[in-house]
Amino acid sequence: MTATITEQTSLTQLPAWKKLSAHYESIKQTHLRQLFAADPDRAGRFSLEAAGLFLDYSKQIVTDETIALLVALAGESGLRDRIEAMFVGERINLTEGRPVLHVALRAPADAEIMVDGVNVVPLVHEVLQRMSIFAEQIRSGSWLGFTGSRIRTVINIGIGGSDLGPVMAFEALRHYALRDIDFRFVSNVDGTDFAEAVQGCDPAETLFIVSSKTFTTLETMTNARSARAWLVAGLGSEAAVARHFVAVSTNAAEVTQFGIDIANMFGFWDWVGGRYSLDSAIGLSTMLAIGPDNFRALLAGFHAMDQHFRTAPFEKNMPVIMGLLSVWYANFFDAQTVAVLPYDQYLKRFPAYLQQLTMESNGKQVTVAGTPVDYQTSQIYWGEPGTNGQHSFYQLIHQGTRLIPCDFIGFCRSLNPSGVHHDVLTANLFAQGEALAFGKTAAEVRQEGTAEWLVPHRTFPGNRPSSTILADQLTPEILGALVALYEQSVFTQGVIWQLDSFDQWGVELGKVLAQRIVPELAAGNSAEPKHDGSTNALIRRYRDRKREGV
């Protein structure tokens, strides 16, 4: 089924939007201290549970009326129909004319999702089965390299969604990973990335996974060619490629052209967006690390959150509430950024992963109909694992001039229990949310006997909003639920902002210009570059200095 581009009522003309604008005026001076004092039950009311995650959003600057109006906005924006359109495979990625079916990647084997008259779920499970067989071969050591050695190092080559998801998931689930295989990742076209990734590796024991949806991405193909040259030089034969390279892609023709046997290719489909591809074959490195059963548990976690998103009423729907809160702060409080602060070292790459998911999806300036928006779209997402951030940028969140809503993520049980560590970690997590919300008044500071001149410096304004996401333990299921929570929250935001959240035209121009500049930087090219004055001067300087260094 093809969705069509129809002009929607401008977001700012919707009745709920207008009511939210008026409501904002009435609530903007209200402090979280007042909200909690007037409403002792708010922690119970403004919290949700789904798919093993608990969300406390009571420290957000909202009342029942705010939530009711935001939910009304979701209704007026047609969110329910848009969710259904995604799940049944409509071509909701309008500018690319594609369905958006990452939800099919984690659907159970007996589900039915039709694309062009074909049920895609069996295709998904067929690939999962092939991945599982391959994973078992590598993990057990029965897959032998060209010289008969088992594989000891797996290097994923990819960029964007073909890297950030695999790296994040590997780091997040490292606790479950086989420790006798070393997993490495190469993404940057900077030769340093490749050089460091193969440091100390034995080509006879190394497997490269070339992960690229298109198999044409400049960075990935440049790294893949270097990897092939490194391998062939090390093993002395082109024939070695077949035992040491596998591909993950939608583009069989380019994979063959590169020299990888199609038998060693794991496919996916154009209805899987790069930043939504972690649970497709792009997750092969994850499956090799944690094993097929854990990978399926990860998918089950995604699916549990998908089901919740599809069926729960909006006021009890975790991704919907999170998405609406982003809209509330972006559009009414003019918050420019969101800090994502995982209190778990294993989630150290989660903020980086979220940056592509959120900003490549909703960093847009026109609606799906091509009309310029007259409101802000995606916030800037950033963050670091706690407690490191506390000794770095939290100062600004507590006492700076900007409002930065925070998402805290924590776990009740550590995967590495050791003395008091986990209680200390979690105490810090809870303390930060408390300090941000309630602050410390000048009167309280004075009462401690602080000298008057120091009082303003030691005062915390509070009223800085945060949510806390808490789960029992970081398991594959929980990671799946957490990623799906953010995916569907991003979907919710995109629907409200009337965007195509699944295209990424904004990355094209730079790619095209880079392709033009590459030959201009090549040795021996002294032709006058034909760009603007600044770019021309940079190219000339680079060429001159490069030559001098030779």
Does the protein bind ligand F6P through residue 507 (CB under 6 A)?
Answer: yes
Cis ω for the linkage preceding 387 (within 30 of 0): yes
User: Catalytic pick from 18, 28, 316, 511?
Assistant: 511
- Cβ distance 284 to 129 under 8 Å? no
152-191 mask for ligand F6P (x: CB under 6 A)?
A: -------xxxx-----------------------------
Give the shortest CB-162-to-ligand F6P separation in angstroms: 4
From the list 211-219, 341-349, 463-471, 485-493, the region that binds ligand F6P by CB under 6 A is 211-219
Is 457 catalytic? The answer is no
- Cβ distance 130 to 185 under 8 Å? no
What is d(CA 22, CA 19) in angstroms, rounded to the nearest whole number?
Answer: 5
Whole-Å CA distances, 105 to 101, 108, 226, 292: 7, 9, 32, 15
Is 546 catalytic? The answer is no
Nearest to 325 by CA among 467, 216, 165: 467
What is d(CA 543, CA 541) in angstroms, rounded to the nearest whole number?
Answer: 5
From the list 107-115, 206-214, 229-237, 398-406, the region that binds ligand F6P by CB under 6 A is 206-214
Burial group, residue 27, by CB count within 10 angstroms (0-12, 13-18, 19+): middle
Q: Are strands 466-471 and 406-411 parallel, antiparallel or unpaired?
A: parallel
Give the shortest CB-129-to-ligand F6P separation in angstroms: 23
Dihedrals φ, ψ of 184, to 5°? -130, 160
What is d(CA 327, CA 330) in angstroms, rounded to the nearest whole number?
Answer: 5
- Cβ distance 139 to 183 under 8 Å? no
Does the protein bind ligand F6P through residue 504 (CB under 6 A)?
Answer: yes
User: Catalytic pick from 90, 219, 360, 384?
Assistant: 360
Does the protein bind ligand F6P through residue 23 (CB under 6 A)?
Answer: no
282 versus 321: smaller Cβ distance to ligand F6P = 282
Nearest to 120 by CA among 320, 312, 270: 270
Residue number of the CB atom closest to ligand F6P:
274
106 versus 275: smaller Cβ distance to ligand F6P = 275
Chosen residue from 234, 267, 274, 383 binding ligand F6P by CB under 6 A: 274
Give the shortest CB-204-to-ligand F6P separation in angstroms: 28
155 versus 159: smaller Cβ distance to ligand F6P = 159
346-385 mask for ligand F6P (x: CB under 6 A)?
A: --------------x-------------------------
Is 219 catalytic? The answer is no
Dihedrals φ, ψ of 145, to 5°? -75, 180
Does the protein bind ligand F6P through residue 467 (CB under 6 A)?
Answer: no
Does the protein bind ligand F6P through residue 220 (CB under 6 A)?
Answer: yes
What is d(CA 416, CA 421) in angstroms, rounded to the nearest whole number?
Answer: 9
The alpha carbons of the chain give a radius of gyration, in whole angstroms, of 25
Does the protein bind ligand F6P through residue 214 (CB under 6 A)?
Answer: yes
Query: Which parts of this chain interact with ligand F6P (CB under 6 A)?
Result: 159-162, 212-214, 217, 220, 274-275, 360, 504, 507
- Tell me the catalytic residues: 360, 391, 511
